[in-house]
Amino acid sequence: MLLETTREENPLRKGMERERSPEPCVMVIFGASGDLTSRKLLPAIYNLAREHYLPSGFSLVGFARTSMSNEQFRQQMFEAVQEFSRTQPVSQPVWESFSQGIFYHAADYNDPAAYEKLVEFLIQLDRERGTMGNRVFYLATPPGVYSTIIQQLGISGLAKPASNDSWVRIIIEKPFGRDLESAHALNQLASQVFTEDQIYRIDHYLGKETVQNILVFRFANGIFEPIWNRRYIDHVQITVSETIGMEGRGSYYDESGAIRDMVQNHMMQLLSLICMEPPIAMGANAVRDEKVKVLHAVRPIQPDEVLDFTVRGQYGPGVIGGKQVPGYRQEKGIKPNSTTETYVAIKFFVDNWRWAGVPFYLRSGKRLPKRVSEVAIQFKQAPLLLFKNSRMAGLDPNVLALRIQPDEGISLKFGAKIPGQTIQILPVNMDFRYGSSFGVEPPDAYERLLLDCMLGEATLFTRSDEVEVAWDFVTRILKGWQQHPPEDFPNYPAGSWGPERASQFIETDGRTWRRP
Catalytically active residues, by annotation? 266
Q: How many CB atoms lie within 10 A of CB 436?
A: 9
Interaction residues for ligand BG6, span 352-391 (CB under 6 A): 373
Identify which of residues 242 and 408 has a Cβ nearer to ligand BG6 in the complex.
242
Residue in 495, 496, 468 with CA at minimum distance from that of residue 296 = 468
Rounded Cα gap, residues 265 and 188, in angstroms: 19
User: Which residue number, 174 or 312, has a Cβ lying nearer to ligand BG6?
Assistant: 174
Closer Cβ to ligand BG6, 174 or 288, answer by number: 174
The conformation of residue 233, written as its DSSP 8-state character, comes to E
Q: Which residue, 194 or 328, has its beta carbon nearer to ligand BG6?
A: 328
Which C-beta is closer to ligand BG6: that of 139 or that of 193?
139
244 with 366: CB under 8 angstroms?
yes
CA distances from 68 to 71, 76, 302, 427 (A): 8, 10, 50, 60
Q: Do 428 and 413 meet the contact criterion of CB atoms below 8 Å apart? A: yes
64 sits in the region (left: phi over 0; alpha: psi -120 to 50; else beta) called beta
SS3 28: strand
The CA distance from 486 to 309, in Å, is 15
- Position closest to ligand BG6 via CB: 261
- For residues 137 and 28, what is the distance between their CA atoms, to the nearest angstrom? 5
Q: Residue 201: count other Cβ atoms within 10 Å of its Cβ.
A: 23
Within 230-259, the residues that bind ligand BG6 by CB under 6 A are 242
How far is 97 from 6, CA to CA, in rounded Å?
11
Min. distance of Cβ 350 from ligand BG6 in angstroms? 23
444 binds ligand BG6 (CB under 6 A): no
Compute the distance between CA of residue 170 and CA of residue 190 in angstroms, rounded to an integer.
9
CB-nearer residue toward ligand BG6: 235 or 448? 448
For residues 310 and 303, is the Cβ–Cβ distance under 8 A? no
Q: How far apart are CA 334 and CA 376, in angstroms?
A: 33
- Closest CB to ligand BG6 among residues 174, 463: 174
- Find the binding residues for ligand BG6 in span 174-213 (CB under 6 A): 174
Cβ-contact 403, 372 below 8 angstroms: yes
Give the sign of the dihedral formed by CA 390, CA 391, CA 397, CA 401.
negative
Residues near 295 by beta carbon (within 8 Å), at least 6 away in sequence? 268, 272, 466, 469, 470, 473
Quote the least distance from Cβ 374 to ligand BG6, whole Å: 11
Distance of closest approach, residue 106 Cβ to ligand BG6, in angstroms: 27
Amino acid at 241: S
- Least Å distance, CB 454 to ligand BG6, is 21
| Helical (H) or strand (E) element with 94 | helix 92-99
**Closest distance of CB 293 from ligand BG6, Å:** 25
Smallest gap from Cβ 373 to ligand BG6, in A, equals 6
User: Which is closer to ligand BG6, CB of 210 or CB of 475?
Assistant: 210
User: If you write DSSP's letter for every residue of 336-380 in order, what string do you get?
Assistant: TT----SEEEEEEEB-STTTTT-EEEEEEESS-SS-EEEEEEEEP
Chosen residue from 261, 408, 452, 466 binding ligand BG6 by CB under 6 A? 261
Distance CA 296, CA 290 (A): 10
| Single-letter code of the amino acid located at 244 | I
- Number of residues binding to ligand BG6, judged by CB under 6 A: 4
Q: Is the dihedral of CA 480, 485, 488, 489 positive or negative?
A: positive
Q: Give the nearer residue to ligand BG6 in terms of CB position, either 135 or 204.
A: 204
Rounded CA separation 307/287 (Å): 34
How far apart are alpha carbons 376 and 361 in whole angstroms? 10
| Residue 447 beta carbon to ligand BG6: minimum distance, rounded to whole angstroms | 13
Residue 243 or 330: the one with the smaller Cβ distance to ligand BG6 is 243
Residue 324 has φ and ψ, to the nearest 5°, of -70, 130
> Which residues are near ligand BG6 by CB under 6 A?
174, 242, 261, 373
